[in-house]
Amino acid sequence: MTALPEEAKALVESTALGHVVTLNADGAPHLTCVWIGWDDGDIVFASSTMTKKIRNLRRDPRVAISIESDRISQMGLKEYLWVRGSAEVTEGGGLGLLREFATRYLGPDTTFQPWADPRDGYQVRVKAERIGGLGPWIRAAR
C-alpha cells in the first residue's frame, strides 16, 4: 500500500469522474463512473445505497480507478492516472460525502439531496498498490 503522490491531488479534486472497476462474482469487470475525493493520499468515493460495486467490493476488494485529465502532456497526449489497489468499504457516511462532492462537481450553491438508505449508504477508501498513466504523478511515483 502506498499513498498517492501529491501531484495527483489536483486531478483527483477536479471535476473529472473516477472510472471505477470492480469484479463481478463470475470475475467479469464491472465499470461505473463516480464522484471521487482525496483523503490523505487515498481516493475516496461514496454510494447512497447498496449498489453492485459495493456488493462486488465486499466480496472481492480488488479495485481499479482511472481519471482523465483535460491537460495535454508534452507528448501531445492527454494526461490520465490509473490506480490499482484494495478497497475498504465502510457502512454509513455516504450521504455526507456525496453532498461534499456535489459542491465541487455541481457547484458551491448546489442543493443536491440524494436519497440514501437507512444505513446512510457507504464510503469506500481505495488504498493504492500501483499507479500508472501519463502525467506528473507518474514521474513523482518513480
- At residue 84's C-alpha, the angle toward residues 122 and 138, to 5°, is 125
Query: Which residue stretch of 1-9, 40-48, 117-125, 126-134 sits at the interface with a copy of itself (rule: CB under 8 A)?
Result: 126-134
Distance CA 7, CA 142 (A): 12
Query: Which residue stretch of 5-13, 36-44, 75-83, 91-99 sits at the interface with a copy of itself (rule: CB under 8 A)?
Result: 75-83
CB of 8 to a copy of itself, least distance (A): 15
Q: Which residues pair with 44 in a beta bridge?
A: 37, 125
Question: Rg (Cα) of the chain, in Å, rounded?
Answer: 15
Map grid coordinates 507518474 to a residue.
138
Q: Is 25 one of the binding residues for a copy of itself (CB under 8 A)?
A: no
CB of 118 to a copy of itself, least distance (A): 23
Q: CB of 32 within 8 A of CB of 69?
A: no
Binding site for a copy of itself (CB under 8 A): 15-17, 19, 21-23, 27-33, 62-66, 68, 76-78, 80, 82, 84, 105-106, 110, 112, 132-134
